[in-house]
Structure 1
Amino acid sequence: MTTLTTEHARAWADRFVAVGKDRDSELTELDRKAGDGDYGTNLRSALRRVAANLEAGPADSPHAVFLAISEAFLNTGGTSGPLFGMWFREFAKAAKDKPVTATVLGEAATNAVAVVQRLGKAEVGHKTMVDAMAPAAEALTAAAARGADVAGALAEAAKAAHIGAASTEKLLAKRGRASYVGEHARGVIDPGALTVAYFFDAASH
């Protein structure tokens, strides 16, 4: 697949909604251990809005699909909702009025990380969603440079995001809610980073 079709983008979004629901208890428990326990509730609310936005449509292009996801998260409370909303918005912007190739997705992911880092003041190693977002963007860009198609590049991004999310388990949080509980959050995977990995998983399953 050389370009992301509307059908694939919509299936990707639908699978992300489904996996978010399936993993809700897991993500809530991780946040209960390392944060204030509201992550699962906020994610559930965002995903309900994603589904509603997609149904309201028209989700007739990858741009429209990503925009529907972005607006759903931007209208969700908590710390992570708006950050995810801004992250997804960069994918929507990149997909507007042009074919969505692996290169375009890599550029979108790179720009999206920069936006989240600027707003959240987080770096790789701070035990946040950035620990999955940044390596995923790098993997997407590298795969595109090697000539990988969309599916191959997204699979590489998913793999990198999972490695990045797993790395947060041993970290001491420097940003986000987990930073308030100090050592109590060590040994817990950041739920935001894991959500990023699940998002990229949803692209390739």
Structure 2
Amino acid sequence: MTGRTLTAEHALAWTGRFTEAVRRGGEELTELDRRAGDGDFGTNMRFALRRVADLLDGGAPDSAAGVFTALSEGFLQTGGTSGPLFGMWFREFAKGSAGGEVTTAVLARAAAAAVATVQRLGGAEVGHKTMVDAMAPAVEALRAEADRDAEVAEALSRAAAAAREGAESTRHLVAVRGRASYVGEHARGVVDPGALTVALFFEAAPEPDA
């Protein structure tokens, strides 16, 4: 992914790397959720991505929007609270990238709409120890990269770094939203698994040699 647009092929490869990252990190995600929630997060994420793989195996999409649609549908069919929120997040990526070239500016607008939807549905803000703590910095990074007309791979690399920093920031927070809010101080010192999943998603975006 070195050009100015995100193609279907790039989006499929991105999804494949994201799936592998969640597969490898599934036990960590589950353990984080066990310490701050009910312990089913990693299982739910892997189930969602198996559904995504089944959908993509049924016919490779011819656009990035089609790939994001498969991600949305896979996560919307997942249990728990986070699965449907991720499903709606990916739905906004699909809507925002439909009907034209998917540039950095398009991705920035789609990501902004996506996090706004998650915040509207979940009621979370930055600092609440949720996935929003990684989503919002990624959006700001994409906007900054769009403003300077950066190529897609570079912009997504910056978004990945911002998402990772945001995810790590949740380690020192007491949750206000989500199941972690039920355990209060016991979740301090634990990275939010939803925020970590957002970081894994963006980190999977650039091509290995980009």
Q: Same fold, TM exceeding 0.5?
A: yes
| Identity across the alignment (%) | 67
Offset of residue 58 of structure 1: 3.5
- Tell me, yes or no, if structure 1 residue 78 matches structure 2 residue 80: yes
- Tell me, yes or no, if structure 1 residue 166 matches structure 2 residue 168: yes
Task: Give the number of aligned pairs.
Answer: 205
Offset of residue 144 of structure 1: 1.1
Partner of 2:6: 4
Contact 1:43 1:81 in 2 (8 A): yes
Offset of residue 44 of structure 1: 1.1
Partner of 1:35: 37
Gaps of 5+ in 2: none
Note the alpha carbon deviations across 1:69-124, whole angstroms, 9 max, x for none: 00000010100000000000011001111100000000000000100000000000
Q: Which runs of 4+ in 1 moved over 6 A?
A: none
For 1:51-200, list aligned pairs within 5 A.
Answer: 51-200=53-202
Q: In angstroms, what is the RMSD of aligned CA positions?
A: 0.7
2:25 aligned partner, one-letter code: R
Q: Secondary structure at the match of 1:203?
A: coil
Distance 2:155 2:101 in 1: 15
Question: Structure 1 length normalisation: TM-score?
Answer: 0.99
Offset of residue 50 of structure 1: 1.1
Offset of residue 60 of structure 1: 1.4
Note the alpha carbon deviations across 1:131-161, whole angstroms, 9 max, x for none: 0000001101111111111001000000000
Contact 1:17 1:50 in 2 (8 A): no
Partner of 1:17: 19
